[in-house]
Amino acid sequence: MQKSSAFVGVMAVLLLSVISQAQMQIYGAWHCGNDYCTWASVRNMTDFDAKNHWLIDRGDGSGLPSVNLAILSFVQPLKLLNKTNDSGDVNGVPIGMNSAVVSYFTSHNIRVMLSIGGITYTSFWDQALSTNPTQLGLNAAALAKSLGVGIEIDYENSSSPNLTGLQAFVDAYRSQIPYDATGTNPAARLTIDLGAGDQWLTDITRYATANWLNNSSPVLDYANAMVPNKQPNTSGAEGNWQQHIDGKANYAPPVPPLAPNRFTGSLYIVTGRNPAPECNNFSASLRKQHRKLRANCCSEWSRYYTRHARLYVLGCGMPGHTFNMHNAAKHLRSGRGCGRENL
Contact 263, 301 (CB under 8 A): no
Tell me the average pLDDT across 112-123.
97
CATH of the domain at 267: 3.20.20
Task: Lay out the sheet containing 28-31: strands in order across.
Answer: 28-31, 69-75, 111-117, 150-154, 190-194, 223-225, 263-264
For the chain, how many structural domains are there in total?
1
CA 81, 35, 193, 204 torsion-angle sign = negative
Residue 55's H or E segment, with its range, is helix 45-56
pLDDT for position 287: 63
Contact 1, 199 (CB under 8 A): no
Neighbours of 186 (CB within 10 A): 19
pLDDT for position 136: 99
pLDDT for position 166: 98
pLDDT for position 264: 82
Predicted confidence band at 246 (pLDDT cuts at 50, 70, 90)?
very high
Predicted confidence band at 290 (pLDDT cuts at 50, 70, 90)?
low
Taking the C-alpha atoms of residue 295 and residue 29, their distance in angstroms, rounded to an integer, is 26
Tens digits of residue pLDDT in 321-332: 222 222 222 223
Alpha helices in 212-322 (DSSP H): 234-246, 277-280, 286-289, 291-301
- Is the pLDDT at 228 greater than 50, yes or no? yes
Give the residue with greater pLDDT, 232 vs 300.
Answer: 232
- Is the pLDDT at 25 greater than 50, yes or no? yes
Predicted confidence band at 261 (pLDDT cuts at 50, 70, 90)?
confident
Lowest mean pLDDT among 61-65, 198-202, 293-297, 317-321: 317-321
- Is the pLDDT at 4 greater than 50, yes or no? no
Predicted confidence band at 305 (pLDDT cuts at 50, 70, 90)?
very low
**DSSP code for 257:** P
pLDDT for position 288: 62
Contacts of 180 (CB under 8 A, 6+ apart): 188, 189
Contacts of 21 (CB under 8 A, 6+ apart): none
- Is the pLDDT at 313 greater than 70, yes or no? no
Query: What percent of the chain stands above pLDDT 70?
Result: 74
How many Cα atoms within 13 Å fall on the side-chain side of residue 131?
15
Tens digits of residue pLDDT in 130-172: 999 999 999 999 999 999 999 999 999 999 999 999 999 999 9
Domain that holds residue 226: 3-340
Taking the C-alpha atoms of residue 42 and residue 230, their distance in angstroms, rounded to an integer, is 32
Lowest mean pLDDT among 67-76, 277-286, 300-309: 300-309
pTM: 0.83
- Is the pLDDT at 299 greater than 50, yes or no? no
